């Protein structure tokens, strides 16, 4: 399976070639940062995001980020989206460690409980997880700034237990890159403005 993945475009919709791609994965923060009302975000989704997704014509998955407040929209047929749950064979989880009063931010205890509810609802854990937050200590900025962490401890603990094959995340822009937790491949696919191998380019992941 070839997956095209990105996150944290904040209103930018990259030009993509879906040829040979089986799935598109978006790890949140898609809406423009200057659209602060639910009505404004809905209009952007309907007028800009929906046509862009439909034109790609490939199965797509979106987990909402802490800048994406609208959770009750009607997506195009080729898009699965959510805040917390399993959609087809992908676990989606928007829960992000609390920093400010933004969307889907919770304390770590609540994040752990919410993850447990999702995981206990299924006999088998999905092999692909799409989250907004990275796990604590992996692709969460500590590689760039020693001692800096902004990932989720609850997510790290769940990954260590469940060991999915792949985790795709975003949220912490300086954490963009690749890491590993046991057998779990971790990709922070935040699109950045600075010069880096990840800057401005969606990532192709093969599993």
> Rounded to the nearest 5°, which phi and psi values hold at 167?
-125, 125
Q: What is the DSSP string of 16-51?
A: ---TT--EEEE-S--S-TT--SHHHHHHHIIIIIHH
Q: Tokens representing 106?
A: 């919770």
**Residue 30 banded pLDDT, cuts 50, 70, 90:** very high
Q: H or E segment at 188?
A: strand 184-188
pLDDT band at 203 (very low <50, low <70, confident <90, very high): confident
The pLDDT value recorded for residue 152 is 95
Query: Where residue 14 falls among pLDDT bands split at 50, 70, 90?
Result: confident
Q: How far apart are CA 13 and CA 29, in angstroms?
A: 12
pLDDT of residue 143: 65
- Residues near 77 by Cβ (< 8 Å), separated by ≥ 6? 54
* CATH 3.60.21.10 correct for 2-11+18-206: yes
For the chain, the average pLDDT equals 90
Distance CA 201, CA 14 (A): 8
């Amino acid at each position: 399976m070839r997956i095209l993945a990105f996150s944290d475009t904040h209103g930018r919709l990259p030009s993509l070639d879906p040829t040979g791609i089986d799935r598109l994965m978006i790890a949140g923060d898609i809406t423009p940062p200057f659209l602060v009302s639910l009505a404004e975000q809905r209009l952007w989704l309907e007028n800009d995001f929906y046509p862009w997704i439909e034109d790609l014509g490939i199965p797509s998955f979106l987990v909402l980020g802490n800048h994406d407040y609208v959770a009750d929209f009607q997506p195009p047929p080729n898009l699965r989206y959510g805040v917390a749950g399993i959609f087809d064979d992908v676990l989606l989880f928007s829960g992000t460690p609390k920093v400010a009063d933004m969307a889907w931010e919770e304390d770590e205890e609540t994040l752990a409980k919410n993850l447990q509810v999702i995981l206990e609802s299924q006999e088998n854990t999905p092999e692909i997880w799409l989250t907004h937050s990275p796990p604590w200590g992996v692709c969460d900025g500590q590689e760039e700034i020693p001692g800096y962490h902004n990932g989720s401890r609850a997510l790290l603990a769940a990954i260590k237990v469940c060991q999915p094959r792949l985790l795709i995340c975003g949220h912490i822009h300086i954490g963009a890159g690749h890491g590993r937790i046991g057998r779990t491949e971790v990709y922070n696919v935040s699109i950045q403005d600075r010069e880096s191998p990840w800057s401005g380019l969606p990532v192709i992941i093969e599993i």
